Structure 1
Amino acid sequence: MKRTLLLALPIALMAACTNTPSASSNGAAPAAEAEAAPAATIDGKQLGANHWLLEAATDSAGKRIDALFVRADKPITLDFGDGRLSVDNACNRMSGGYSLSGGEMTISRMASTMMACTDPAVMALDKAVGSRLEGTLKVQQLDGATLRLATASGDVLTFAGEPTAETRYGGPGETVFLEVDAQTKPCSHPLIRDMQCLQVREVHYDDKGLEQGERGAYGNFYDTIQGYDHEPGVRNVLRVKRYTVKNPPADASSRAYVLDMVVGSESVGQ
């Protein structure tokens, strides 16, 4: 049995404006300036209610910034919460503090993890993203579907909003730890023929990361864990958020599980 510890448990337990356009002689603002004017205020709650996926980026000349799209299947994603911005899907995970004033967002110098990526284009993604997100940006648009930020150099980044699990399920959810065994097993389901179920058991820790009690037997897990892709032959301990689904369909579960992080993994021989 080959064991690989991804993250130590104590770490895993840690909390989980532009100027007003000048009027022309007839009192109307030029059209180009009117379009570029940022929103007067920023709804911080709306920022935190969504994951923001990068869908377009142009420089001051209107040219697409290709360096920001080297991971076509995993767009750069921003998350806002408790005064902090986190950036996912670059080479490293980055984060920094942010503040809002009028139609501007100011982001502090960001810290990042220190992983190396084999693809040079992905490795360069950290700098391409970080250099554009640090400092003061103008918020040109913010609604439930779109966040548009403009940098001092004239780059414009447009993000599409995707509701967070907390938004979709109406609450913060409960943090639980699940151990997923290396292999699935056949299980009976009235609507799915030849279903294979993950084999799962809960693991309990105290606030210092010390395991409490004994692990019980594995059981069939009929739900799905959003964000988790099971690899046969690998046993994982997961930190997940468990939500109560209000008024689920008759054939659906009343619970939803969303992956927060993989705490540890081990390869298990056949």
Structure 2
Amino acid sequence: MNNKPTVRAEIPRARRIVVKVGSSSVSGANVGQISALVDALVSAHAAGSEVILVSSGAIATGIPFLKLDSRPTDLATQQAAAAVGQNVLIYRYQESFDRYGVVAAQILLTAGDMENPTHHSNAQRALERLLGLKILPIVNENDTVATHEIRFGDNDRLAALVSVLVRADVLVLLSDIDALYTKPPSDPGAERISFVPFSNDLSDVTFGDIGAAGVGTGGAGTKVAAAKHAAAAGIPVLLAETGSVAAALAGEEIGTWFEADTLPL
């Protein structure tokens, strides 16, 4: 049976959902959003959907523990921040999931893992088994061993690749903005885009930089590229604000909906 939504309202019926959240949404002043995010994920999980969370935030979470004032620019310190931050981030997630008796699993991947057939197959098998055991996988880039040249781009691309890997029915990309706009939302004349047909290459859209928090590495451009990658594989994508995740998973008319290719390769 085809469970892929063709419109937002069908998201609650999706068999398998991948949700991606960025660094700025779960670290620093926004760390409190983890509870609301978990509430929404557990609600979908309890309703029968298999849910995978792709979460950035290891480096951003680790920064204050290293007594740093801003995101480090050198690779070694980024890796150190990630090593500390990933531990704290997963603890915060599991502590929140404990309210519902849901067990989370940690899966750390690199771009090389997704390109290596053996690693790719192992990751797929592990994710399938976890979902079969009713465990909620939390996927992140393995920042401790990743290099500048092969980064995913704040996990937007990783989320798209994971969606394809597990044959998800829908991908929800959460952001610090409520939708895609024709230009950066703060620019005069910016208009919200509600629906993106698969055939639209968005060549008339002007993309801005990373979010205002400055702790992530992805912007609107990386999210659109990720959405297009998933859509080309037949997976529809919803881009929405992190604070609206419950509404997104409930199928409300929010965010930007990227139509999937109906005849994927």
Whichever structure has more helix as a proportion of its residues is 2
- TM-score of the superposition, structure 2-length normalised? 0.26
Higher relative contact order (CA 8 A, sep 6+): 2
- TM-score of the superposition, structure 1-length normalised? 0.25
Whichever structure has more strand as a proportion of its residues is 1
| Higher alpha-carbon Rg | 1
